[in-house]
Chain A
Amino acid sequence: MKAALTPSEVQDPPAQKAARHRRGVREWATFLAFLAPNVLLILAFIYYPLASNIYYSMLDWRLGAASADFVGLKNYLTLFTSPTGLDMWRVTLIFTISTVVISMAIGLLLALVLNRNIPGRTFARTAVFSPYVLSGVGVGMVWNFIFDPQIGLLSHVFAFFGANSPDWYLDKNLALVMVIVVYIWKNLGYCAVVYLAGLQSIPKDLLEAAAIDHAGPVRRFFTISFPLLGPTTFFLIITTILSSMQAFDILRIMTPTGHGTNTIVFELFLQGFGVYQRAGYSAAISVVLFLALFIITTVQMRFVERKVHYA
């Protein structure tokens, strides 16, 4: 049988190499055709902005102006030392910590209730989650109406108890409280649903074993459920910090020009596109924001990786 074939019919190594090369080129061509549009868009509208922000951030530059002065790191200095800059950090810190802590605490309580085996909870879960998917603009408008000191729903509640509604919009601190409340209202369901999923992944026999060992319901929660929710809690801390730092829609609609509510992203917008049009300073905020979020996300990814390994 071997004799039936002449050697010439078998490809020699160079020809084989060429065939292999052609195949590789074809695969690459398909790969690029499938991926290139997305990659080019990402390069143009995510990576290029990242780089150009660094350049912009060193300019004293009014948005729209033809010329700008190079000022080195002055914008960063302003961001970390000037009263405006420090106030932004203070507001961001208060806003982030209070929204994260309160959403997670109430979210956990809601999850515990939703985890009970009672009819109607599927509906309740859907309802609780629903604000999370709604337009921040619409939500902000609705709550503007509720917080209106003269005719808002809340003012009627205060009137019922014989009190006057505080003027949420005039007082800087109250304005911050107001947007925190609305932000929590919108994002609470996310925490509740994620905690609910965490609770349901706890093996039932663990809790039963603890019950047999005479652990009461409260003790069971603190010695078993809560520790086992550790990864969920960590995940939520990271994701809610990330989204709180990016809050914008509600802040812009409820306090259009910022009034004690200038968290980092809102300040980035107001400085660049508000009355000041300080584009260079806005770019500096962008750079710092990116670094902060990048570090937080990297920490999360490392943790998740470890979790996967030991799971």
Chain B
Amino acid sequence: MSVESRNEANPGAEAGAGNAGIIAGTGAGVARTGADTSGAVAGVSGTTSARGGSGRSGRGPAWREAFTPRHLGETILTGYLPLLIALAVIVLPLVWMVIASFKPPGEIVTLTPTLWPQEPTADNYAAVADRVPLGRILLNSIIVTAVGSLIKVVLAITSAYALVFIKVRFKNIIFLGILVALMVPPEVALLPNYMTISALGGRNTLWGILLPGLGTAFGTFLLRQQFKTLPIDMLEAAELDGAGHWKKLWKIVVPVCAPAIATVALVTIVTEWNSFMWPLVITDTPENMTLPVGLNLLQSVEGQTGSYGYLMAGAVLVIVPVLIVFAALQRHIVSGLTQGAVK
């Protein structure tokens, strides 16, 4: 019980508080329970073939043990307490953002802030629209995200198919080339791409924002791994059933690998939506900016204090859509973003 007292001595500390307590308690938890281990990781291993879809069976009596009188204290101190602290640290800034976006300036520039807005207002959103062409910027972001993701995913699908299912020599050399491209961070190409796109007249255009990012090494790599797990018999059966490469791709491979493709698509969409550095470099007129770049502009034209209401409204616009998508489809997104971690 020394564990518990140590924890109590540190009640207000941050997420990392009471190290020994968390470790001790969890060690015990792992040893005792475990019927449900697959459920919690299902999100991570969603598309990694071996453990995919193992579901959340067995969420039965196993956890009840945590609430027996004997374990209740331990459960709260080493389970819920650290979790609550962590959740507070993670969630509070976002909640603060949403609330502030509905506060009038007087409630933001104050020494005695209240949690809820006293006079909730949507003026901040209107103010954002006053300062930057918000409709245009939102539309740009949506177009860039939609078109960019669509092209990237289609290219990833056809490339991965070609690399896995078309029998030609030297294709491994091409794959190696794509693998090396995977290691090149986009920042490295920033300056030369700026020169190329400028020379092509692509500054302050949507295609200029889109074009350099369309080649997809990440999606190709991820889908190739996935396609390789398909039974080759199935593809041969389709061939004997009279399906050429095009039909095999769209009628067999794509439907069967739909979950993995959805993962790649979601990760691509989120990445495109958040993309900042390249659009920042290639656009300088507000009408052609995407949302992150527009917000950067908004922040630089506003003085640091007093305008936080507008800035939080802007942040809500860029953050909340992704939060909604993530909440609905977190399984796919987490598995895509942690690829490679779970074998």
Contacts and interface: CB of A to CB of B under 8 A. Distances in A.
Interface of A: 24, 27-28, 30-31, 34-35, 37-42, 44-50, 52-53, 56, 63, 105-106, 109-110, 112-122, 124-139, 141-146, 148, 150-151, 153, 156, 159, 185, 188-190, 193-194, 196-202, 204, 207-208, 210-211, 216-218, 220-221, 225, 232, 235-236, 239, 242, 246, 248-249, 252-253, 256, 265, 268-269, 272-273, 279, 282-283, 286-287, 289-290, 293-294, 297-298, 304, 307-308, 311
A253 B89 contact: no
A120 B92 CA distance: 18
Given A34-B159, A119-B63, A200-B41, 5 more contacts: A34-B161, A41-B215, A135-B319, A141-B311, A252-B296
A231 to B, nearest CB: 9
Is chain A's interface secondary structure helix, strand, loop, or mixed overall?
A: helix
A217 B66 CA distance: 16
Interface in B15-34: 15-16, 19-20, 22-34
Interface residues of B, number: 127
A190 B340 CA distance: 13
B264 interface: no
Contact of A197 (B191, B319, B338): B338
B318 A138 contact: yes
Contacts of A197: 41, 44-45, 338, 341-342
Contact of B315 (A127, A138, A151, A248): A138
B82 A109 contact: yes
A116 B324 CA distance: 27
B22 A279 contact: no
Contact of A53 (B28, B177, B192, B270): B192
Most B Cβ at <10 Å: residue of A50, A121, A128, A193: A193
B286 to A, nearest CB: 15
Given A202-B30, A269-B190, A137 B215 contact: no
A300 B167 CA distance: 29
28 contacts: A27-B166, A34-B158, A37-B158, A38-B155, A42-B177, A53-B189, A53-B192, A112-B26, A115-B29, A115-B40, A116-B25, A117-B34, A117-B62, A122-B40, A130-B327, A135-B318, A135-B319, A136-B276, A138-B316, A142-B315, A144-B304, A145-B96, A197-B342, A217-B27, A220-B30, A248-B187, A273-B190, A311-B343
Nearest to B212: A45
Most A Cβ at <10 Å: residue of B41, B194, B217: B41
Contact of B20 (A46, A134, A218, A289): A218
Contact of B43 (A125, A188, A210, A211): A125
